[in-house]
Amino acid sequence: MNAFVTTRRRAWVVMSAVIALVMSAIAFSAQPAHGAIGTGTSSISGRITLPAGVDPATAGLSVGVFEASVDNSSMGGSITPQGDFVVSGLAAGTYKLEFRAWNAPSVLPGWYGGAVDFASAKTVTVTAGQRATGIDATLVAESTIAGTLTGVPAGGANVIAHRADAAGAWSQAAYTHVDADGAFRLAGLRPGTYALQFNTGVFRDVYWKLKADLDSATRIELVSGQAVTGVDVNVSASLSTPALSVSGSRQVGSVVQVAATWQTQPDAVSYQWFANGTAIAGATASTYTPTADRLGTQLSVRVTGTKAGYVPAADTAELGTVSKGLIAPGAPTVTGTTVTGSTLTAVPGVWPTGTVLTYQWYTGNGDIAGATGKTFTLTAAQQGRLLYVLVTGALPGYEPASARSTGIGPSQADGFTAATPTISGTVAVGSTLTATPGTWTAGTALTYQWSASGTAISGATASTFKPTSAQAGKTMSVTVTGKVGGNTRAVRPSSETAKVATAGTPAITGTAAVGSTLTATPGTWTMGTAFSYQWSASGTAISGATASTFALTSAQAGKTITVAVKGTLSGYPTITKTTAATTKVSTTAVPTISGTTTVGSTLTAKTGTWTTGTAFSYQWSASGAAISGATASTFALTSAQVGKQITVTVTGTLSGYTTVSKASVATAKVAAAATPIVSGTATVGSTLTATPGTWTTGTALAYQWNAAGTAISGATASTFTLTNAQVGKQITVTVTGTLAGYPTVSKSSATTLKVAIATTPEPSGRFFVGSTVSVQTGTWTTGTAFSYQWYASGAAISGATKSTFTLTAAQAGKPITVALTGTLSGHPTVTKTSAATPKVTTTTQPVLSGTAKVGSTLTVNPGTWTTGMTFTYTWYASGTEISGATAPTFTLTSAQKGKNIAVLVTGQLSGYATIALGSNSTLAVG
């Protein structure tokens, strides 16, 4: 069937597809809509390939041919049921082709060259009379994306699909509005890379998966015909933009802090500070202190909040230009003696690191010319005057700052004695330091000021001082000021001490028991401190015990233990601290467990050797969990412990010693192991069977049969057939179970009775009514006593309990068996039943009739036998078989003259005993 090939304008109508379906095996040419297309001699042909499962014969295929420059079409042609098309009558020119499958809505239209629209379609150029072939097109099946939105407001939500082109640029590819129920489906999607946007107009837009923008959205890669489901989104799960507030000054050296207020509190908040829009490395805290290299830059900070299940939110605060900072000046002081010729020294105090300092000495009359150094030597010109120093600091990025000392003096010409103070004591946090001022001029009033790394400590003005953690890592000094008559005559600083150390109180961890290892924990010391150790027993140093750990031996039993920790660090004092003493060292042992770890077995805890007088308590555990009530030295395992490893913890207590608990090594897992049972009859030829009972799942079982306690060679199966070798012996079976992680357990059965010899009896005799039959017992264990029971067709015959039995009419037609029961002390009582005999036959004595004379005929009447019997006959003359005489009649000849005649009648019937009975004898034949 040929389908319709249209060359009309791009505003397609469905009718063209309908027409295409009804055209049958013809080519159709439309009237040109644009004369320039349909007046030529050229053609374009190719094949349209559809997705698998779509039949081109019924898909309503069409081809649109457009002038590449004017976007129109006007030519017709034909399409075969296989999708091959030809568009003829084309003028020379350049064209673009569009392909559609009108009756297959799941198939997307396409343009030649794999394009999706006119603008991107590949062109086909034909010259006059040219046939352009191989212009093939492959149409793809639509792909879909579906999911459910939650948190949809009353006005609904919009789902927008963006598709990336080859260059990575995004364009909107599909859109759908979603009602409050939240279900959505985007159809008509081509293969490619997609990102989804979810818009409500109420909440911030959400992008898949919980992303804040299109660039960070998780991509969805679609192939032809793919149906992606499960794109489920909570459109309300988007953090709101925070409200930012900034405090502090945007000056070099000043701290600036940002705070964010959130409608929904994030799980985590991150920060990034920027200078002129460039991230400042490492500036990721809520505070930032501008440095000199940021002077004049524009400062901003971005705050980002994240929360599990929510789209992140961020905002940026612009702070403005970073200006110069203000130097925090030090508090200058002057040291030295105010005596002409003495040298005064300026102590500038603490200034920011990197500050460049300059000095100017002056008196009340003004600056002293040329006195711009850190030191100044007094001359006669300063006598009677107070001396000052002005310190000025300069630092890049900061405004300069100046600070002035208090006055010292007045300067005098006379002598004055002032000593340099010294400091004694351990330079450590919590220790007391003492200032010794030395010798000063009599009458001098002394005051003290303690400093840490050059900075005066507020309130530290006594002759002693106890450093706190605030001074840790700093050097200590003390400045002694001497005044006479209210005037400062000298200021003398001490030398700097070593840095103030932090020295913790050491402690000992571990159990004070022989074999245990004690550990010295030094406590908190100044970082970088190196430690050495000395362990002591009852105050005596233990030779060689200089590590941070010490394993106690029997030499320390009954003694208390201490350790001295010595800390050393360059620039700090060496300090030794000794721990408190432990309790006395006890002798302990790891307990052991004896017994088999099987249900029903009793385990016993063995304590081992402990310090004499130790009292013990016990706690049994299964796989680490204490067993309630199991606090004795023994424990009987139950099914509750199956599969678990058992330990016992022994706790020893003794006055003056540490209470010590020791746990045993874990046992193998507790196994379930049953006592096997032997079934079967203990007689030669019988098979005994071992039933092992319930064992732990996965246990591999092995068997060993024993006779009178001795293993039977080769008898290692779960069954065993008794032989004569076991006669008179009792039988047991030992079952051994093995399973990785569990103990190997052997369990033996109870003994059987002695093995007996017992054979099957056999009835003997002729089995017809009136006959007496007997039983042959066979071989049994010597001394066996027998009892009997005869059966007819399996039913016991009342009273038939002897070794012989006379058959009656009641047994006629029935097979006979006999049960023989043997009893013997110490042996099993065994009953053996014979095989069934043939059925019992009914018979009568055959009777001869006729005259015993030569020439006469004798006749035998067999009488009444079981119905259905067939007979054979054998005639005898005085006991000798007469050859050929096998009929029920016989005519006497001279050969029988003088002899007695009889006949043997034999009756036969299937299932019955064959019986032969002789007739009465005649008189001698005359």
> Any idea what the CATH number is for the domain that residue 178 is in?
2.60.40.1120
- Which of the four pLDDT bands, split at 50, 70 and 90, describes residue 383? confident
Task: Give the bridge partners for 67, in sequence order.
Answer: 95
Q: How far apart are CA 642 and CA 648, in angstroms?
A: 16
Q: How far apart are CA 72 and CA 750, in angstroms?
A: 105
pLDDT average, residue stretch 298-304 = 96
- Is the pLDDT reported for residue 622 higher than 90? yes
- Note whether 467 and 430 are within 8 A (CB): yes
625 and 542, same structural domain?
Answer: no
Task: Provide the pLDDT for residue 425.
Answer: 94
Task: Tell me the per-residue pLDDT of 821-865, one tens digit each, with 9 for 90 and over.
Answer: 999 999 999 999 999 999 999 999 999 999 989 999 999 999 899
- Is the pLDDT reported for residue 342 higher than 90? no
Quote the number of domains for the chain: 9
Task: Provide the pLDDT for residue 37.
Answer: 52
- Note whether 888 and 860 are within 8 A (CB): yes
Task: Provide the pLDDT for residue 807.
Answer: 94
The residue among 840, 865, 893 that closes a domain is 840
Q: CA neighbours within 13 Å on the CB side: how many for 824?
A: 20
Task: Provide the pLDDT for residue 71.
Answer: 60
**34 within some domain:** no
Amino acid at 815: P
Strands (E), 528-586: 530-537, 540-541, 549-551, 561-568, 575-578
Nearest by Cα to 36 from 7, 62, 78: 7
CA distances (Å), origin 919, targets 58, 260, 848, 883, 914: 105, 135, 6, 18, 17
Q: How far apart are CA 817 and CA 617, in angstroms?
A: 72
**552 within some domain:** yes
**134 within some domain:** yes
- Note whether 17 and 48 are within 8 A (CB): no
- Is the pLDDT reported for residue 85 higher than 70? yes
- What is the DSSP annotation of 469-524? GGGBTSBEEEEEEEEETTEEEEEEEPPP-SBBBP----EEES--BTT-EEEEE--S
Burial of 900 (0-12, 13-18, 19+ CB in 10 A): middle
- Is the pLDDT reported for residue 16 higher than 60? no
- Is the pLDDT reported for residue 581 higher than 90? yes
- Which of the four pLDDT bands, split at 50, 70 and 90, describes residue 385? confident
Task: Tell me the per-residue pLDDT of 607-617, one tens digit each, with 9 for 90 and over.
Answer: 999 999 999 99
719 and 663, same structural domain?
Answer: no
569 and 515, same structural domain?
Answer: yes
From the CB of residue 400, how many other CB atoms can be counted at a distance below 10 Å?
15
* Structure token digits, residue 119: 């603008």
124 and 212, same structural domain?
Answer: no
793 and 814, same structural domain?
Answer: yes
134 and 149, same structural domain?
Answer: no
Task: Provide the pLDDT for residue 119.
Answer: 87
Rg of the chain taking only CA atoms, in angstroms = 61
576 and 606, same structural domain?
Answer: no
- Is the pLDDT reported for residue 73 higher than 60? no
Q: How far apart are CA 533 and CA 555, in angstroms?
A: 19
Q: How far apart are CA 71 and CA 6, in angstroms?
A: 14
**24 within some domain:** no
Burial of 373 (0-12, 13-18, 19+ CB in 10 A): middle
Task: Provide the pLDDT for residue 240.
Answer: 86
Q: What is the DSSP letter of 267?
A: S
Task: Tell me the per-residue pLDDT of 682-741, one tens digit each, with 9 for 90 and over.
Answer: 999 999 999 999 999 999 999 999 999 999 999 999 999 999 999 999 999 999 999 999
Range of the domain at 230: 142-235
**214 within some domain:** yes
Q: CATH number of the domain that 688 lies in?
A: 2.60.40
Burial of 287 (0-12, 13-18, 19+ CB in 10 A): middle
Q: How far apart are CA 385 and CA 379, in angstroms?
A: 11
Q: How far apart are CA 35 and CA 581, in angstroms?
A: 115
Task: Provide the pLDDT for residue 32.
Answer: 32
pLDDT average, residue stretch 176-184 = 92
The residue among 561, 585, 609 that closes a domain is 585
150 and 206, same structural domain?
Answer: yes
pLDDT average, residue stretch 663-690 = 93
344 and 305, same structural domain?
Answer: no
344 and 366, same structural domain?
Answer: yes
CA distances (Å), origin 140, targets 39, 108, 441: 33, 6, 109
243 and 228, same structural domain?
Answer: no
* Structure token digits, residue 411: 């300067």
pTM of the model: 0.42
**855 within some domain:** no
Higher pLDDT, 3 or 364: 364
Query: In whole numbers, what is the pLDDT of the chain averaged over residues?
Result: 90
Task: Provide the pLDDT for residue 17.
Answer: 30
Task: Provide the pLDDT for residue 26.
Answer: 29
- Is the pLDDT reported for residue 18 higher than 60? no
Task: Tell me the per-residue pLDDT of 86-101, one tens digit each, with 9 for 90 and over.
Answer: 999 999 999 999 999 9
Distance of alpha carbon 380 from the chain centroid: 90
Reply yes or no: is the peptide bond before residue 662 cis, omega within 30 of 0. Answer: no
Lowest pLDDT segment from 288-297, 485-494, 515-524: 485-494
Q: How far apart are CA 890 and CA 873, in angstroms?
A: 10
pLDDT average, residue stretch 909-914 = 92
From the CB of residue 896, how many other CB atoms can be counted at a distance below 10 Å?
24
Lowest pLDDT segment from 287-291, 410-414, 668-672: 410-414
Q: How far apart are CA 118 and CA 380, in angstroms?
A: 105
Nearest by Cα to 140 from 164, 170, 111: 111
775 and 815, same structural domain?
Answer: yes
Q: 3-state DSSP helix/strand/coil percent for the chain, to nearest 5?
A: 5, 45, 50
Lowest pLDDT segment from 2-6, 95-99, 274-278, 530-534: 2-6
Distance of alpha carbon 581 from the chain centroid: 46
Q: CATH number of the domain that 603 lies in?
A: 2.60.40.2700
Reply yes or no: is the peptide bond before residue 410 cis, omega within 30 of 0. Answer: yes
Task: Tell me the per-residue pLDDT of 260-286, one tens digit each, with 9 for 90 and over.
Answer: 999 889 999 999 999 999 999 999 999
Q: What is the DSSP letter of 264?
A: S
Amino acid at 845: Q
CA distances (Å), origin 749, targets 63, 705, 724, 738: 92, 10, 22, 18
The residue among 840, 864, 899 that closes a domain is 840
pLDDT average, residue stretch 548-574 = 95
pLDDT average, residue stretch 166-186 = 92
**Which residues contact residue 860 at a Cβ distance below 8 angstroms, ignoring those fewer than 6 apart?**
846, 847, 848, 849, 873, 888, 889, 903, 905, 919
**905 within some domain:** no
Q: Work out the angle at residue 24's Cα, subtended by the Cα atoms of residues 21 and 28, and round it to the nearest 5 degrees.
A: 85
- Note whether 535 and 517 are within 8 A (CB): no
- Is the pLDDT reported for residue 23 higher than 70? no
**612 within some domain:** yes
